[in-house]
């Protein structure tokens, strides 16, 4: 009985592999070839001993050596950055990410119909964050998975099918890579003043499912000496441009006005949230 089950599993797997290669053999064969060549290049870099270009040039060569350990693994993503594509269809976004001149990509693109297209291996670095900072992490592309939601960024609502697929992807990523609840954030959060995506995003719904934080229903008054800039900074915002940081915070957590001023209510929300991020 066990053997039959195993065989069935294998047959199913082979079917999936065939289907995947059939898809990529046609329309995307040329870009698939480029992906494989690039990935092979990285594999060569990873397997070189001693690693190339990692000797410390300012130290004497004679005092440096290489002895490969037997205990190591591959680095894992620790953040998920959510975007909206600001494009009109999944195909348009996929084509952008296949265009070398565009220089941009994301690990996953999720269509309005809930279709999920993976475009970069979770372990590789996609070009989705750009110049960004969160806390003291200034290379979010290296530490995160980027997820693009097909949405024109104007009047489009995020569809139920799209959000269902997103939650499905997030559940697996959170568990597989042990990503902290706080580390599910948006592009606008890490690039204040430069990006506004995802706009009008149901962060509260996501937070209820364990992806990102949301404020409590009952809010306490902050103390008189409450330092709002420090609170934004503790949450993760880059406060170098304070107005942009406030706008980004409100875009995510307030959503009804994006002015760069913290109202009394905004301060209650900020105080409540900053304690969760501490």
Q: Give residues in contact with Zn ion (CB under 5 A).
A: 83, 187, 197
Residue from 82, 105, 103 nearest 93 by CA: 105
Give the nearest distance from C-beta 197 to Zn ion in angstroms. Answer: 4
Residue from 126, 124, 79, 123 nearest 98 by CA: 126
Give the nearest distance from C-beta 156 to Zn ion in angstroms. Answer: 15
Cβ neighbours of residue 64 closer than 8 Å, sequence gap 6 or more: 55, 56
Mapping DSSP to helix (H, G, I), strand (E, B) and coil, where does residue 184 land? strand
Handedness of CA 256, 257, 261, 263 (dihedral sign): negative
Mapping DSSP to helix (H, G, I), strand (E, B) and coil, where does residue 59 land? coil
| Residue keyed to tokens 């039959």 | 4
Give the nearest distance from C-beta 127 to Zn ion in angstroms. Answer: 11
Residue from 261, 250, 257 nearest 186 by CA: 250
Q: Active site includes 148? A: yes
Ordered DSSP codes for 37-58: HHHHHHHHHHH-SSPTT-S-TT
Give the nearest distance from C-beta 185 to Zn ion in angstroms. Answer: 11
Q: Which CB atom, from 129 or from 235, has the smaller least distance to Zn ion?
A: 129
Catalytic residues: 148
């Amino acid at each position: 009985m066990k053997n039959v089950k195993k065989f069935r599993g294998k047959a199913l797997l082979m079917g999936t592999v065939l289907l995947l290669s059939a898809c990529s053999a046609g329309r995307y064969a040329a870009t698939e070839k480029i992906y494989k060549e690039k990935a092979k290049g990285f594999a060569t870099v990873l397997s070189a001993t001693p690693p190339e270009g990692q000797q410390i040039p300012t130290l004497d060569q004679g005092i440096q050596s290489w002895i490969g350990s037997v205990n190591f693994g591959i680095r894992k993503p620790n953040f998920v950055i959510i975007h909206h594509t600001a494009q009109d269809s999944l195909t348009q976004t996929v084509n952008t990410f296949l265009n070398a001149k565009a220089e941009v990509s994301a690990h996953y693109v999720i269509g309005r119909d809930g279709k999920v297209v993976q475009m970069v291996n979770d372990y590789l670095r996609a070009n989705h964050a750009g110049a960004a900072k969160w806390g003291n992490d200034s290379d979010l592309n290296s530490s995160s998975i980027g997820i693009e939601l097909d949405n024109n960024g104007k009047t489009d609502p995020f569809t139920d099918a799209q959000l269902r697929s997103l939650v499905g992807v997030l559940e697996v990523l959170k568990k597989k890579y042990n990503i902290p609840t706080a580390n599910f954030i948006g592009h606008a959060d890490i690039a204040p003043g430069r990006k506004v995506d995802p706009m009008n995003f149901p962060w509260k719904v996501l937070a209820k499912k364990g992806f990102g934080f949301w404020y409590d229903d009952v809010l306490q008054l902050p103390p008189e000496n409450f330092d709002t800039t420090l609170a934004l900074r503790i949450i993760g915002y880059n406060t170098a441009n304070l107005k942009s940081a406030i706008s980004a915070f409100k875009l995510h957590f307030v959503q009804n006005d994006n002015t760069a001023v913290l109202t009394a209510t905004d301060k209650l929300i900020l105080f409540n949230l900053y304690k969760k991020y501490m």
